[in-house]
Amino acid sequence: MDSNILTLMLGISTFLGALGLGALLWGLKTGQFDDQKRFLDTVHFDNEDDLRDAALMDKRRKEREERRKKEYRPPD
C-alpha cells in the first residue's frame, strides 16, 4: 500500500474513534444511559399471572422449535 493511503486511513479511523468517544462521553454527561427506575418498576409491578403467561409462552416457543427440528428435511 502507498504510505499516503495508509496515513489517510489512519487519520480517518482516529477521527471516527474520537467522534465515537465524544458521543459516548456526551451521552454519559447528559444522562442518556440512566435508567435506574426501570428495573425496580418491573419487579414491583410484575404479578403471578404475568410471570405464568411468560413461562407458558416460553414453553410453547421451545415446543415449536423442537417440532421444526423434527419436521425439517433437507432437500434431496
Q: What is the pLDDT of residues 13-66, one digit of tens each?
A: 999 999 999 999 999 998 887 776 666 666 666 777 877 888 888 899 999 888
* pTM of the model as a whole: 0.46
For every residue of 12-49, DSSP letters joined together read HHHHHHHHHHHHHHHHHHHTTT--HHHHHHHHHH--HH
Taking the C-alpha atoms of residue 47 and residue 60, their distance in angstroms, rounded to an integer, is 20
pLDDT digits (tens, 9 = 90+) for 1-22: 689 999 999 999 999 999 999 9
Domain ranges in the chain are 3-71
